[in-house]
Structure 1
Amino acid sequence: MSAETDPFLALDVSTDDYATTAAHDQQVGADATVAAVQAEDDSDAEREKATAARAARTRYTKEDFLAQKASYTARIDEGSVWKQLLVFGPPFRPSGAFLSALDAGDVDVPKGNGDSSTGKSKLDKKHHQAIQAAVSELYFLQKYAAVQEIITWAKEHFEKDKKWDAQVVKWEGKIKEKMSAQEVA
């Protein structure tokens, strides 16, 4: 039995039906291409709209810039970063000598003995950065006795780790060197 007589293998499709089906498929493909191009155009328009909105939010007009420039004042913390330590737990309680060295007589110092009944507390990153900023600023201002007082307070109230120990040793070495140089001069 040949393939032409086998009912399962024979395809009864006329050439006209094939041409109509092929033409229909071609039109559907063209329509899909047109739809894709239109969708791309829409997304381009939306992208341009979003870019324009972002530019409107982030760009200054010359008048806006000049108004902000005229009202700008630089923040100057001349020896006042240490005041952040007053709100720590346990808070820093500066001595009278510390306050007089910094001309900070009007500072509201927390009351109490400052001793923690639970021992030393863990030094988190925020506290470490605040202590480091205060020490750096007072060192720059050459208030070495005040720096030593902050270092002593920090050593008494916070747990040690390798990084903290290395930092404190470095601070103490610099302070001792500077204080001895001041005594000689």
Structure 2
Amino acid sequence: MSTSTAPSLALDVPIDNYATTAAQDQKAGVDATLTAVAQEAEAEAEDDSDAEREKAGAARAARMRYTEEDFLAQKESYSARIDEGSIWKQLVVFTPPFMPSATFLSTVNAAPSTPTSTTTAEQNPRGTKTKLDKKHHQTIQAAVSELYFLEKYTAVQEIITWAKEHFEKDKKWDKQVQKWEERVMEKMKVQQA
């Protein structure tokens, strides 16, 4: 006991017990703080998960906005697009347009009212070639592939000739056109034999 402290306030605690008691008090305080922080985090997480659930529910509702009746009505009105030798008609709206000859039209069994070919000078007055973009390249390729599949080789040959005369060349385009020409020539030889 200390002589400067009032005897009524002095506690007689051994040093070892004091350290243990202080450590227990400190641990209890830290545990209480950690528990409070954890509970607060759980409450925020529940709020976040509620918001996330509501957001997910709204997204699900947006995906499923059609009723069963709407779906059945749409299913009933659906019809698949079938192109049987008619993709070449998309080439007519190109610049310069594809102007099929009478032979071409008879080969593909098209109506003669479709515009027939004109001379190259009329189609391309300055002799300049148009740059071939990806959409045009794909359309020409689809038309050639379709007519090739239908074994209308003279029609394929006419499209190839038109494309070579009116569109700028690049390495990829040249290889593609050369491959088409070789295949068509092979098939035409077999057909004639």
- Tell me if TM exceeds 0.5: yes
Say whether the 8 Å CA contact 2:101–2:116 is kept in structure 1.
Answer: no
Structure 1 runs not aligned, ≥5 long: 1-18
Q: How has the CA–CA distance of structure 1 residues 47 and 107 changed in structure 2, closer, same or farther, with 3 Å as cutoff?
A: farther
Code of the aligned partner of 1:172: E
Q: What TM-score does the superposition give when structure 1 sets the normalisation length?
A: 0.74
For 2:183 and 2:44, the matched residues in 1 are separated by 67
Q: Are 1:67 and 2:73 an aligned pair?
A: yes
1:115 aligns with 2:124: yes
TM-score by length of 2: 0.71
- Between the aligned partners of 1:109 and 1:171, the Cα distance in structure 2 is 23
Deviations 1:24-80 (A, max 9, x none): x98887665444333322322222222222222333554443333222111111111
Instruction: Check conservation: 2:87, 2:143, Cα contact below 8 A.
Output: yes
What is the match of residue 45 of structure 2?
40
In the alignment, what sits opposite 2:21?
none
Contact 2:107 2:155 in 1 (8 A): yes
Q: Which residue of 2 aligns with 1:105?
A: 112
1:86 match = 92
- Seen in structure 2, the aligned counterparts of structure 1 residues 132 and 33 have a Cα distance that, compared at 3 Å, is same
Larger Rg: 2
Count of paired positions: 165
Find the aligned partners of 2:125 and 2:38 in 1 and give their Cα distance. Answer: 75
Cα offset for 1:162? 1.4
Counterpart of 1:135 in structure 2 is 144
* 1:105 aligned partner, one-letter code: P
Q: Distance in 1 between matches of 2:174 and 2:49?
A: 58
Between the aligned residues of both structures, percent identity stands at 54
Does residue 49 (structure 1) correspond to residue 54 (structure 2)? The answer is yes
Task: Report the RMSD for the aligned CA atoms in angstroms.
Answer: 2.9
Letter in 1 for 2:83: D
**Does the 8 Å CA contact 2:100/2:115 hold for their aligned counterparts?**
no
Q: In structure 2, how many angstroms separate the alpha carbons of the residues matched to 1:116 and 1:35?
A: 80
